[in-house]
Amino acid sequence: MNLLTTKTQGQSASYQRVKEGLEMGRGFLMQGINLDERYTVNDREKKIQACDYYKKGIDAFKSAMKVNIMEIPEERRSEVREMKDKAKSNMKAAEDRFVELTNQMLGKTPSPTESRPTTSTFRATSTTAAETSRPQRSVLARNDMLKGVDAKFGNAILDEILDKTEVMLKDVYGCDAAKQALEEAVIYPALNPSLFSGLRQPVKGILLFGPPGNGKTLLAKAVATESKQAFFNISASSLTSKWVGEGEKTVKALFQIAKNAQPAIIFIDEIDSILTERSDKEAESSRRMKTEFLIQFDGASSSQNDRILVIGATNRPYELDDAILRRFPKRIMLGLPDEKARHAIIFNTLKKHNADKGIRDRDLRYIASVTKGYSNSDLVNLCKEAAMVPVRRLGKDQLRTTTQHGLRPIEVSDFEEALRVIKPSTNGNHLQKMLDFTAQSGQM
Ligand SMILES: Nc1ncnc2c1ncn2[C@@H]1O[C@H](COP(=O)(O)OP(=O)(O)OP(=O)(O)O)[C@@H](O)[C@H]1O
């Protein structure tokens, strides 16, 4: 055997050692998270076991990381660098969780329900030159987005989840706190990345919650349009139903595609349906998917080079467990519109459709005053219903011959009729629960 062959064999063995070590670390981390997320709060035994897994994971990562890159075959070096990079984020997540659980057991930290950003979220980092100069990409070739992704899941994601959006922030009425948080997390950093490092590192997880139909989806879309970021729009319930048994691979593919397409926003609607309780009764596959989600999320949020923002939306924030709340340090309620906002949405909806001729400002103020409890989408529906009244009055014969211009304008009496049909969709108890959650863990 000559020297060259010995060196090559040695390098291949080192490559295997790193690969297996990192996989082992990831395996332990998954087992740790699995226990941790299912039994977090009161089961001390399980906490100890979870810590044990985290510790084993950290050790395995560390030992794999020790292998010098020069000991790896040259053609594998960039792959190994990437694996190590990812593992660093996973290791950080394991260390954070290990310390947090240990402190909890020693009684050193407040209850886990009190949300604290993970240290990794706030880790001081400086912006790399590559990041600063990364161009804003709005269109990326499909093949580039699919790099390193299982084609079966990757194609499905690109077909169904990648959303082209044209909604602008000005189309979203009210929601000022949420707009500001999203501007700070996405739009400003894109304008001047160097200002948004260290303590000003943008958050990587934002939770939007509130009664249905108040702009959670609309706002996320608007932010993606204005920041020219790729927008992946997925409903968590489709992850659990549509891709039964394959949710885990889909989640993995989704994050890899977002990474390839970054800067990117992953919008997960109904996030409660994958990330609430993790009971024993749940199918194993669904549990694996959740664990994969947590791992991918941690990987994406602690890497300083990745610009992926996850926006979660839910109507039931109070059902989310601590694990998920920790990952969304900003939690903003999009509540029901107040009188001023109701006035604005009715006015703008009518104006947008050139249907405001018969409605005076006095009428608008009246309608806004009698629609307390209506959501924004209820108000849009109210306008649609009111617009139907003049048509209903026509009778069949006139209906055939009347043109758009021949139709009488919508009047306030049409709204009065519509109000008898369109009622507020938000239930009072539900709203109160959300307000209680906001007082404890969120912001308006
Ligand atoms: N703040 C808003 N400004 C303008 N239009 C709004 C606003 N909120 C809701 N709408 C209207 O209601 C529709 C539904 O809103 P959207 O899908 O954003 O609600 P959501 O909060 O995501 O609801 P869900 O919880 O049901 O997913 C929008 O397409 C839009 O017509």
Q: What are the pLDDT digits (tens) for 363-383? A: 999 999 999 999 999 999 999
pLDDT at 275: 61
Q: Which of 217, 371, 384 most suits a substitution to test ligand 1, by most atoms within 8 Å of the C-beta?
A: 217
- CA 334 to centroid of ligand 1, rounded, Å: 10
- CA 402 to centroid of ligand 1, rounded, Å: 32
Whole-number Å distance between alpha carbons of 97 and 119: 10
Q: Where are the beta strands (DSSP E) in 275-430?
A: 308-314, 330-333
What order do you get walking across the sheet with 205-209 strand by strand? 230-235, 264-269, 308-314, 205-209, 330-333
CB count within 10 Å of CB 89 equals 20
* Cβ of residue 172 lying under 6 Å from some atom of ligand 1: yes
* Cβ of residue 377 lying under 6 Å from some atom of ligand 1: yes
- CA 173 to centroid of ligand 1, rounded, Å: 10
Whole-number Å distance between alpha carbons of 97 and 90: 11
Q: What are the pLDDT digits (tens) for 254-294? A: 898 998 888 889 999 988 877 655 555 556 767 778 888 88
pLDDT at 401: 77
Q: Which atom of ligand 1 is nearest to the CA of 174?
A: 1
CA 307 to the chain's CA centroid: 13
* Cβ of residue 345 lying under 6 Å from some atom of ligand 1: yes
Q: What are the pLDDT digits (tens) for 318-349? A: 888 887 888 898 899 999 999 999 999 999 99
Ligand 1: which residue has its CA nearest to atom 16? Answer: 215
Whole-number Å distance between alpha carbons of 219 and 173: 9
Burial track 25-53 (b if 16+ CB lie within 10 A, e otherwise): bbebbbbbbbbbbbbbeeeeebbebbbeb
- CA 230 to centroid of ligand 1, rounded, Å: 20
* Cβ of residue 298 lying under 6 Å from some atom of ligand 1: no
**Residues of the chain falling short of pLDDT 70:** 1-7, 37-42, 107-140, 240-245, 275-283, 285, 302-304
Q: What is the DSSP letter of 162?
A: B
- CA 108 to centroid of ligand 1, rounded, Å: 42
Q: How far apart are the first and last CA of the chain?
A: 71
Ligand 1: which residue has its CA nearest to atom 5? Answer: 172
What is the third-level CATH fold of 339-425? Answer: Helicase, Ruva Protein; domain 3 (1.10.8)
Q: Which of 207, 209, 214 most suits a substitution to test ligand 1, by most atoms within 8 Å of the C-beta?
A: 214
- CA 97 to centroid of ligand 1, rounded, Å: 36
What is the third-level CATH fold of 1-109? Answer: Methane Monooxygenase Hydroxylase; Chain G, domain 1 (1.20.58)
Question: Does the interface ipTM go beyond 0.90?
Answer: yes
- CA 243 to centroid of ligand 1, rounded, Å: 26
Whole-number Å distance between alpha carbons of 435 and 61: 43
- CA 406 to centroid of ligand 1, rounded, Å: 32
Contact assessment for residue 371 and residue 336, using Cβ atoms and an 8 Å cutoff: no
Cα-based distances in Å from 408 to 193, 309, 397, 405, 412:
53, 48, 16, 8, 12
Q: Where are the beta strands (DSSP E) in 236-298?
A: 264-269
Q: What is the DSSP letter of 407?
A: S
- CA 437 to centroid of ligand 1, rounded, Å: 21
Amino acid symbol at 81: R
What is the third-level CATH fold of 145-336? Answer: Rossmann fold (3.40.50)
* Cβ of residue 376 lying under 6 Å from some atom of ligand 1: yes
Q: What is the DSSP letter of 186?
A: I
- CA 139 to centroid of ligand 1, rounded, Å: 26
Cα-based distances in Å from 195 to 128, 135, 192, 227:
12, 17, 6, 17
Burial tier of 104 (Cβ tally within 10 Å: 0-12, 13-18, 19+): middle
H-helix or E-strand spanning residue 128: none
* Cβ of residue 213 lying under 6 Å from some atom of ligand 1: yes
* Cβ of residue 315 lying under 6 Å from some atom of ligand 1: yes
Domain boundaries, the chain: 1-109, 145-336, 339-425
pLDDT at 35: 77
pLDDT at 441: 79
